[in-house]
A and B are shown apart, each in its own frame.
Chain A
Amino acid sequence: MLQNLLEPTPLPPSVRANRLAIGSPEYNEILDFLYDEAEMLDNLRLAEWGELLTQDLEYNAPLRHTRSTAQFDQTYIRTVQHLHESYGSMMMRVKRITDTKSAWGEDPPSRVKRMVSNVRVYKTDKADEFKVESYLLVTRSRFDFDYFDLIPCVRYDILRRVEGSLKLARREILLDQVVIGTPNLGIIL
């Protein structure tokens, strides 16, 4: 059925008992990963960022709907999404920027800050995988416009340890806006 083909692999639950203590060595390592990733993306080191991705990457940004409180779980739409990416398609997005001279939607590039906070890390039943929740506030400044586009979201990531280093294996980005307030998602979240 179509629904099953489109839905990402379910994320493991965020169980309090599995939470890594803030300040523990593994927590700090993961925080470093997120900060370094933000720095790479903010500074257009996209090829380097591509090396952080696993080959089985699932990278999604569901649509949001305004529904009643009783139907809160129906406010996430995972059929059509804003991003519905695999490793191949994500690398295609990277190459559009790094390997062409006419990616006009981001050339000249936006000035972007990715502010990462509220980071929580959970052990999963796979010893080499962590579930990581973070808030992300993106500010995007384009040309000489006197305003910033704001893109607030929550990210649910799976980080996997591959040959000693952490890689991004899955990411789901839950945007706050139903009608996205930036002209495109030509930047990576």
Chain B
Amino acid sequence: MQKNSERTLADGTRISDLINLETREVAMRTLSDPELYELEMERIFAKTWVFLGHETEIPKSGDFMIRDLGSDSVLVARDKDGVHVSLNVCPHRGMKISTLDCGNTPAHVCIYHGWAFKPNGDFIGAPVEKESMHGKLLSKEQLGLKKARVAIYGGLIFATWNIEGPSFEEFLGDAKWYFDTLWCRTDKGMEVLGPPQRFTIRANWKTACEQSASDGFHVLTLHRWLSEVGPYRKPGSEGGGGDLTPEMYGSEVYTAHAHTMRCIELDRKIRRLTGKDPSELSVKEKLEALPPPGVTQEMIPELLRNLSEDQLKIITWRPPQVGNFFPNGLFEFVYIPTPDGVVGVMALHAYVPKGPDKLEFVNWILAEKDTPPQLKATMLRLGVQLLGTSGMVEQDDSDTWPHQTIAAKGAMSKHITLKYQAMYETGKPEGWPGPGDVGDGFTKDDTQWRWWQYWHELMTAES
């Protein structure tokens, strides 16, 4: 009997034939194949926890917003009990329940035949109650919207259709130790500075997501302009432009479920700001010299209280600056040099699959709730200038992914491979206190390869 894991595509190719686990290569075809896309929606997006937004987007009871959980539209709504995620499809005849982007209502009434649902998805009733237009075969309890399982972590909303599957904490695994230094460092936590930017890219979701798993190399060339003009330019260096190479050093963390991050070294910045050798400074002194993005001097005692000594060591030495939540989330906590000093930018992206050749890029910009308004405004403006729709950095990314997607269809090119063969060879950096697999030094491919290993694991898993 054929095992599920050996499931083949229509032309006889096995999924495990698309990826060479020894040589760390992935067949290009994987980037655009419609059959694989359908399988990904079932085996990845219906199985893992998926990032949907931030709870500060819907602060009041009755607030709701419409998001995508894989290829399905979902209603994300708050009531007095918390945040609920339900399929945005009417169980009567399949009309979309809410056609709006967001709003506030105690009852979501389907405009087709009038069935009504609570923010938590429960069926309230149909018009003309006494005539029981929903019949008697099913109880009202059975006629609610299909409900997903929800987890709120550091204000982030995640959901899954895998009701009996692993807990959110299990899903995060070793990444949680690091993510806590980002999302759970202050007493009040974070907030979005507004709704997300959204735009369409004619590219497969994996082109964006394999990059999101901490592709360091691409910064050197695809984002080379950063060294030629603007904040990172260091006059007098080669070619009239600066060199981004120093930004490529640090640690890279990759965990079992393919959550990864680049922990870029701060030593040079701290040396420049203080004129002192960072090894002679205490954690507190380093935090005061260069507070993390969105953090002010007043908030530093909170960090010292909320994080462990080991976590504090990481965030003042090599803090996570960019990384991903598998399958389709990305975060950035970057330190941007400006004429007025270093300004932090914090952003989250979701790369929502919209078919084999299309994705929706969703970009949120965040700050700590306690970040002073003036600094929030600066962070927001800088975020808009560098990231998302018009971002001068991410324009280059969004123009690249469509080419990969088109190439993945060529009779020859679909068989060539994506290569992830630059490997860390020295293990964890000395004195690294954090969990997970950790590489030391110049960026490598291990984080992205981990992304594909987990993709492979899920795509060939016995369901």
Interface residues of A (CB under 8 A from B): 1-2, 5-6, 61, 63, 65-68, 71, 77, 79-86, 89, 92-93, 95-96, 99-106, 142-143, 178-186
User: Known: A79-B194, A96-B230. Contact between A104 and B373, CB under 8 A?
Assistant: no
Are B199 and A182 touching (Cβ within 8 A)?
A: yes
Tell me the minimal C-beta distance from A58 to chain B in angstroms: 11
Are A184 and B194 touching (Cβ within 8 A)?
A: no
- Having A93-B392, A184-B391, one finds 9 other A-B pairs with CB under 8 Å, namely A2-B377, A6-B377, A67-B101, A79-B380, A82-B197, A99-B228, A181-B200, A183-B202, A186-B395
Listed A/B pairs (13) with beta-carbon separation below 8 Å:
A1-B373, A5-B373, A77-B195, A80-B196, A80-B380, A92-B229, A95-B230, A99-B228, A100-B241, A104-B400, A105-B396, A183-B401, A184-B394
Interface residues of B (CB under 8 A from A): 99-103, 192-203, 221-222, 224-225, 228-230, 241, 360, 364-365, 373-374, 376-377, 380-381, 384-385, 388-392, 394-396, 398-403
Are B230 and A92 touching (Cβ within 8 A)?
A: yes
Judged by DSSP, the binding face of B is: mixed
Are A77 and B194 touching (Cβ within 8 A)?
A: yes
User: Known: A67-B101, A89-B385, A183-B398. Contact between A5 and B377, CB under 8 A?
Assistant: yes
Are A96 and B392 touching (Cβ within 8 A)?
A: yes
Are A179 and B198 touching (Cβ within 8 A)?
A: yes
Q: Which residue among A1, A67, A99, A178 has the maximum number of chain B CB atoms within 10 Å of its CB?
A: A99
The 6 closest A-B pairs by CB, nearest first: A79-B194, A105-B395, A80-B194, A180-B199, A185-B390, A100-B228
Tell me the minimal C-beta distance from A110 to chain B in angstroms: 9
User: Known: A84-B380, A100-B229, A105-B398. Contact between A183 and B199, CB under 8 A?
Assistant: yes
Chain B neighbourhood of A178, CB < 8 A: 101, 198
Are B385 and A85 touching (Cβ within 8 A)?
A: yes
Tell me the minimal C-beta distance from B395 to chain A in angstroms: 3
Which residue of A has the minimal Cβ distance to B399?
A105
Tell me the minimal C-beta distance from B226 to chain A in angstroms: 9
Chain A neighbourhood of B230, CB < 8 A: 92, 95-96
Chain A neighbourhood of B384, CB < 8 A: 80-84
Chain A neighbourhood of B203, CB < 8 A: 183
User: Known: A80-B196, A82-B389, A104-B222. Contact between A5 and B374, CB under 8 A?
Assistant: yes
Are B373 and A180 touching (Cβ within 8 A)?
A: no
User: Known: A92-B230, A100-B229, A101-B228. Contact between A63 and B194, CB under 8 A?
Assistant: yes
Tell me the minimal C-beta distance from B242 to chain A in angstroms: 11
Chain B neighbourhood of A180, CB < 8 A: 197-200, 389
Chain B neighbourhood of A65, CB < 8 A: 100-102, 195
A1 to B193, CA, bound (A): 12
A4 to B194, CA, bound (A): 13
Chain B neighbourhood of A104, CB < 8 A: 222, 225, 396, 399-400
Chain B neighbourhood of A81, CB < 8 A: 194, 384
Are A79 and B193 touching (Cβ within 8 A)?
A: yes
Q: Which residue among A67, A103, A142, A181 has the maximum number of chain B CB atoms within 10 Å of its CB?
A: A103
Are B200 and A186 touching (Cβ within 8 A)?
A: no
A79 to B360, CA, bound (A): 21
Q: Which residue among B203, B376, B377 has the maximum number of chain A CB atoms within 10 Å of its CB?
A: B377
A71 to B100, CA, bound (A): 11
Which residue of B has the minimal Cβ distance to A86?
B381
Chain B neighbourhood of A66, CB < 8 A: 99-101
Q: Which residue among A103, A179, A181 has the maximum number of chain B CB atoms within 10 Å of its CB?
A: A179
Tell me the minimal C-beta distance from B237 to chain A in angstroms: 14
Are A63 and B201 touching (Cβ within 8 A)?
A: no
Tell me the minimal C-beta distance from A180 to chain B in angstroms: 4
User: Known: A79-B193, A80-B197, A83-B384. Contact between A184 and B395, CB under 8 A?
Assistant: yes
User: Known: A180-B198, A180-B199, A180-B389. Contact between A186 and B376, CB under 8 A?
Assistant: no
Are B194 and A183 touching (Cβ within 8 A)?
A: no
Partner of B395 from A95, A106, A143 at Cβ < 8 Å: A106
Which residue of B has the minimal Cβ distance to A82?
B389
Tell me the minimal C-beta distance from B266 to chain A in angstroms: 25
User: Known: A80-B380, A82-B390. Contact between A68 and B228, CB under 8 A?
Assistant: no
Tell me the minimal C-beta distance from A186 to chain B in angstroms: 4
Chain A neighbourhood of B376, CB < 8 A: 2, 5
Which residue of A has the minimal Cβ distance to B361?
A183
User: Known: A2-B373, A93-B392. Contact between A99 and B229, CB under 8 A?
Assistant: yes
Chain B neighbourhood of A101, CB < 8 A: 224, 228
Tell me the minimal C-beta distance from A161 to chain B in angstroms: 28
Chain B neighbourhood of A96, CB < 8 A: 225, 229-230, 392
Are B399 and A179 touching (Cβ within 8 A)?
A: no
Tell me the minimal C-beta distance from B375 to chain A in angstroms: 10
Which residue of A has the minimal Cβ distance to B202?
A183
